[in-house]
Amino acid sequence: MQFFNLHTHKFTNQPDVLELVNQYPWEFDGTIPFYSIGIHPWFIVEERLESDFEILESKLQEPSCRAIGECGLDKRIEVPLELQQLVFEKQLLLAQKYQKPVVIHCVAAFQELIEIIKKLYITVPILIHGFSKSEQLAKQLLDNGFYISFGKYLLLNPELELVFKNMPNDRFFLETDTVEEGIEAVYGLAANYKKMTIEEMQKQVNKNFLEVFKIEL
C-alpha cells in the first residue's frame, strides 16, 4: 500500500490505498475489509444501545476490525453530555479489553476527553480525527499521548499549516473523512507543508501506522 487513509466514510477499494472505513453497528457492511466501528455521539439512540454494543463487541473480535470509532464527545448537539460520556467510556473500556486503537470525534470537549482517558487508565493509542484547532491544543493533546489526524480542514484552512508543520513526525496521520478529494491530495499538501517528498511522507505515515496498528502496510 502506498497511502493510508485513517478515517473515511466511503470505501473506494483502490489497490494502492488502505482505508480505515468508519462503520456503525446498526448499518454494518461485512464486505469492507479494514474498518473501525463505533457509536458516534450524534447517533446515540438509548433504545438501541444494548444491541449496538452487542454488535460492536462481536466485531471487535474480528481481524478486519482495526479500531473503535469514531466515538467521543460533542457539546454542540442535543444528546445529553452525561449520556455521551457513559457511551464513550464503555467504548474506551472495550478498546482496552480488545487492545484496539480509538478514533475520536471531539467537539468543544477536549478537557473532558483528556480527563476521561486519565480516569480510566486507557493505554491503547488514542487518535483525534479531523483536527482543526490551535497549536496550543495540539500540544496539550500530544503531551497527553494522543495522535492527531489531519485531512478535511488541512485542505480547507491554510491557518492549519503552522500547526501541522510543528507536529512531531511520529504522531500524525492523514485522512479524507467526508471530502471529495482523494487521500493523495492530502498527502501532497502534507508533504509540501513538511518539506518532504511524497515518498518520504508515505514512509513516515507507514512507520506511524506500524507503531499504532502493529501490522505492516
- Are 68 and 102 spatial neighbours (Cβ–Cβ below 8 Å)? yes
- Residue 1: pLDDT above 70? no
pLDDT per residue as tens digits for the range 105-151: 999 999 999 999 999 999 999 999 999 999 999 999 999 999 999 99
Q: How many CB atoms lie within 10 A of CB 210?
A: 12
Q: How far is CA 41 from CA 99, 201, 204, 207, 215, in A?
A: 22, 32, 31, 31, 29
Beta strands 3-8 and 126-128 are unpaired
Q: Judge whether 175 is annotated as a binding position.
A: no
Rounded CA separation 97/124 (Å): 10
The whole-chain average pLDDT of the chain stands at: 96
pLDDT at 155 over 80: yes
CATH class of 3-213: alpha beta
Is 105 annotated in a binding site? The answer is: yes
pLDDT in tens, 28-81: 999 999 999 999 999 999 999 999 999 999 999 999 999 999 999 999 999 999
pLDDT at 95 over 90: yes
What are the extents of the domains in the chain? 3-213
The pLDDT-based confidence of 181 (bands split at 50, 70, 90) is very high
Q: Please, is 171 exposed, middle or buried when counting C-beta atoms within 10 Å of its C-beta (0-12, 13-18, 19+)?
A: middle
- Per the listing, cell 471531539 goes with 106
The helix (run of H) or strand (run of E) holding residue 141 is helix 135-143
Question: Which residue in this structure is represented by grid cell 457513559?
Answer: 86
How many CA within 13 A on the CB side of residue 212? 28
Residue 81: which of 47, 132, 115, 44 has the closest Cα? 44
Q: Quick check: pTM over 0.75?
A: yes
